[in-house]
Amino acid sequence: MAHSAQAAHWRFPGILQGMEASSAVRLSDLSDEALIPCVLADKTCFAELVGRYEQPLMRYLNRLGVRSAEDQEDLLQEIFIKVYRNLNSFDQSLKFSSWIYRIAHNETMSWYRKVRVRPEGYLVADPEELMRLIPAGEPSADAQFDATVDSQLVNDALQALPEKYRTVLILRFFEHKEYEEISDILRIPVGTVGTLVYRGKQRLAALLSEKMDV
Amino acid sequence: MNTLNSPQTRADRILDTIERDAICPRSRYLFLCQNSLLWLAWVLSIALGAVTIAVLNTGLMHGMYGLFEATHDSWMGLTLVLVPYVWLPVFAFLVLLSLYNMRHTATGYRYPAWQVVGSSVLLSLFFGIVLYWLGLGHAVDKMVGSAMPMYPSQERIEEKLWQQPVQGRLVGAYVPESRQGSIVRFVDAAGAAWEVETADLAPTDLSILETGQRVRVLGVLKPEQFAHFHACGVFPWLVGLPMPLSALNEEREAFIERVYEHRRVAVERLATLEAETYGQNGAKPPMGDCAETPAAKRIEAMYMQ
């Protein structure tokens, strides 16, 4: 049954403020947060949320080192089921994307613990961007970062980083999350995010320098 | 679960799973209860922390500062006795528990650890002082003391410190209408009966003694007479009473004044006698029992030189 097609338009009387009763709403026009009451009233609306987040979450899982397509699929399914089951716990003071990333992150970490494997390397989609960002605040290191740095090198350096730094760097520089969002995803204070990003960048810069010297 | 080759979209597969396994969103109230319980646990840890502070305060405020020269050679010795070995770790544990509880609430992770710990400590301190003034600190201290024989309650610590006749300290109560001349009968904390010589006591000491309430007596044990104690000062038993700093200061001033008086009078008497008898046989007259107590000597060494 193609639930997603059913849910493209949805009639919901008076759930959204300022909306005429029984008006038809295009789900794609609604914000994530506004979609939640629709999903709670009609589960087929969940297809819209899945559609919005499947690619970003797939990419995130990939960056966290889940490489097998089968594992990714299973994990993604578990993540979305968990999101659906816990929809009522969503705190409206958060961004929905932060909340769903938090679930994805926690599920992935649990999955690693369950299957007892180490991440299969980190995928850096845009090493040039990282190269632009790393030397910020590290002027002396600027010269060391040039075009010779390839994504494999960055991947290796990222893999050598302690987990806490690696996660914030991925969220900050590859998922382009703000500090507040990272704070909400990882459930740590914003100040700690800043510290981890700063130290993570320093360590990554040092590791890259070492690898480039070799 | 291999679903990669399925023609359905991922959303459809997920919705099928939801339908097939009859998965429903958990109730809003469940999450509300969970979060409320965590906040309640945080409040409880603060409240228990406050009780701990009230007990700590009881120990510190009744910490024998006023009469410390009577019981200890130095501040260091007193401090070692006063460190609340039991309650400090309990308080530290409760602060950590409050941090844990706060961190697990829906938004508690946003606050840095130092803020959570700092606010927990400050709140516990504030409410702890309020509870102390309401007398809860002493009540809890006493309750734990009666439930656990090994627990060093304030009453037990102070009783142990003052029930030391050989060292010139006695705790107990005067037996009413037992006076014969300057001797009164006195029953100590262990239930033993004493004859207490009150000739050297000041009127203030006598009035405190004759209330019949439990008191602390500073004096000298007379080994040549059975169960005979020469009293030099009497101080009220303050455990369990709210003690503002002003009361502690007053107690201390009264103690120094009364104990030093023995020493001052003795020195004057000695000087007079020495003047009268010097050169006749060279023997110095005794200064008197109360002037020779360790407390009187310590006070003289500390304040009167």
Mean pLDDT to the nearest integer, B162-186: 87
How confident is the model at residue A106, as a pLDDT? 94
Sign of CA dihedral B9, B15, B19, B23: positive
Report chain B's mean pLDDT, rounded to a whole number.
82
Does residue B288 or residue A190 have the better pLDDT? A190
Q: How far is CA B94 from CA B42, B65, B87, B102, B117, in A?
A: 9, 28, 10, 12, 10
pLDDT at position B302 over 60 = yes
- Model confidence at A110, pLDDT cuts 50, 70, 90, reads very high
DSSP H helical ranges for B163-244: 203-209
Contact A2 B28 (CB under 8 A): no
- The CA distance from B171 to B192, in Å, is 11
Contact B15 A3 (CB under 8 A): yes
pLDDT at position A158 over 80 = yes
Q: Is A68 part of the contact surface with chain B (CB cutoff 8 Å)?
A: no
Residue A190 CB neighbour total at 10 angstroms:
16
Does residue A151 or residue B22 have the better pLDDT? B22
pLDDT tens column, A28-39: 778 888 889 888
Residue A120, both tokens: 């299969």
Q: Which residue of chain A comes nearest to B106, CA vs CA?
A: A91
Contact A189 B109 (CB under 8 A): yes
Lowest mean pLDDT among A205-214, B263-272, B275-284: B275-284
How confident is the model at residue A83, as a pLDDT? 95
Q: Is A92 part of the contact surface with chain B (CB cutoff 8 Å)?
A: no
Residue A147, both tokens: 């075009």
H or E element that contains A25: strand A24-26
**Chain B partners within 8 Å of A2 (Cβ):** 8-9, 12
Does residue B202 or residue B277 have the better pLDDT? B202
Residue in A3, A84, A189 nearest the CB of B23: A84
Measured in angstroms, the CA of A210 and the nearest CA of chain B are apart by 34
Q: Exposed/middle/buried for B73, CB within 10 Å: 0-12, 13-18, 19+?
A: exposed
Is B55:B89 a contact under the CB 8 Å cutoff?
no
How confident is the model at residue A118, as a pLDDT? 61
Lowest mean pLDDT among A67-71, A82-86, A181-185: A67-71
Phi, psi angles (nearest 5°) of residue B230: -95, 110
pLDDT at position B3 over 80 = no
Secondary structure E strands in chain B: 169-174, 183-188, 193-197, 214-221, 228-236
Q: How far is CA B232 from CA B31, B43, B83, B204, in A?
A: 68, 50, 29, 12
ipTM associated with this complex: 0.72
Q: Are strands B183-188 and B169-174 parallel, antiparallel or unpaired?
A: antiparallel
**Chain A partners within 8 Å of B18 (Cβ):** 43, 46, 81, 84
Lowest mean pLDDT among A136-140, B22-26, B145-149: A136-140
List % helix, strand, coil for chain A (3-state, nearest 5): 70, 5, 30
H or E element that contains B254: helix B245-277
Taking an 8 Å Cβ-Cβ cutoff, which residues of chain B contact chain A?
1-4, 8-19, 23-28, 30-31, 103, 106-107, 109-113
**Chain A partners within 8 Å of B16 (Cβ):** 1, 3
Q: Which residue of chain A comes nearest to B113, CA vs CA?
A: A189
Strand, coil or helix: B37: helix
Contact A4 B112 (CB under 8 A): no
- Model confidence at B303, pLDDT cuts 50, 70, 90, reads low
How confident is the model at residue A13, as a pLDDT? 47
Contact B11 A86 (CB under 8 A): no
Measured in angstroms, the CA of A183 and the nearest CA of chain B are apart by 7
Contact A89 B26 (CB under 8 A): yes
Residue in B9, B26, B103 nearest the CB of A4: B9
The candidate with the shortest Cα–Cα distance to A146, out of A136, A157, A131, is A131
Mean pLDDT to the nearest integer, B183-196: 89
